[in-house]
Amino acid sequence: MTLHHVEQVMGMAVSIDIVDADDPAVIAELVDWFHEVDETFSPYKESSTVSRIGRGEVDSDDPALTAGVVEVLLRCEQLVDETNGVFDVWSVPSPNGTNFDPCGYVKGWSVQRAADLLEASGVRRFCINAGGDIVLRGAGPDGNAWRVGIRHPDDPMALAMVLGCEGPLAVATSASYERGAHIVDPRVGSPSTELASATVIGPDLGEADAYATTLYVMGVAGLGWLTGKPGYSGCVITRDGAMLSTDEFDAHLVA
């Protein structure tokens, strides 16, 4: 039996497909987790911990600094150095009016933690898709590799490519086709426009999500930077439709 559920949370549809479990309780646990993440990390909620941090209202003794929040803050701080300032959640405009928005890491991180919850429950074959950022485990329902379609940046009804993936694996895409030119280069304070989309594959979705944003901001040159991240590979589509990718990424392409 395959369990399927779609939850509207964190401003998007999160779909959960589980191949090797039939207890709806495992779905309920994930739904509760995603709503907890939304309440804590949403920059659209004035009372969220993220909004309060952005306004300077949270000190080191605040109980809002849970282990999860501290984990996210520390990793985002590391990513500033790791990307030479390209990924800097403290230097981008946020919907709450501040310059603190960790969504470029939090979405992938939260889905990765949801995958960890499923695995702790003994589930081994599943797919979680959060607005195009995906975690996979095991094989698909038919016993073959999962098929992951990457949207064409110029046509919402078309695919730019299809990937054949068997877990454990994560796929993250950064693009401007849903929200316009919203991905800002913190180094110059303006949106990046060189690429139409950037997709990264790797073992951890939190990392892949952050790396996809970094790759999008860096442009084509970012593919060289990404090759220095063991286990991660990527593909970019330029504004004129050219597709460039790393060799490791090409191994997942379905003809």
Give the closest residue to 131 by CA, choosing from 9, 243, 3, 4: 9
Contact (CB, 8 A) for 76 and 82: no
The pTM of the full predicted model, rounded to 2 decimals, is 0.94
In angstroms, the Cα distances linking 224 to 122, 219, 247 are 38, 10, 12
Ramachandran sector of residue 168 (left: φ over 0; alpha: ψ -120 to 50; beta: rest): beta
Q: What's the pLDDT score for residue 219? A: 95
Spell out the per-residue pLDDT of the chain, length 255, in tens.
Answer: 589 999 999 999 999 999 998 889 999 999 999 999 999 999 999 999 999 999 999 999 999 999 999 999 999 999 999 999 999 999 999 999 999 999 999 999 999 999 999 999 999 999 999 999 999 999 999 999 999 999 999 888 999 999 999 989 999 999 876 655 568 888 887 778 889 999 999 999 999 999 999 999 999 999 999 999 999 999 999 999 999 999 999 999 997
Contact (CB, 8 A) for 192 and 216: yes
Give the closest residue to 154 by CA, choosing from 243, 67, 69: 243
What is the per-residue pLDDT across 52-104, written as a single tens digit (0 to 9) for each?
999 999 999 999 999 999 999 999 999 999 999 999 999 999 999 999 999 99
What is the per-residue pLDDT across 167-189, written as a single tens digit (0 to 9) for each?
899 999 998 766 555 688 888 87
CATH 3.10.520.10 for domain 3-250: yes
Return the domain boundaries, the chain.
3-250
Query: How many Cα atoms are found within 13 Å in the side-chain-facing hemisphere of 59?
Result: 1
* Beta pairing, strands 169-175 & 155-165: unpaired
**What span, in angstroms and rounded, lies between the C-alpha atoms of 246 and 235?**
7
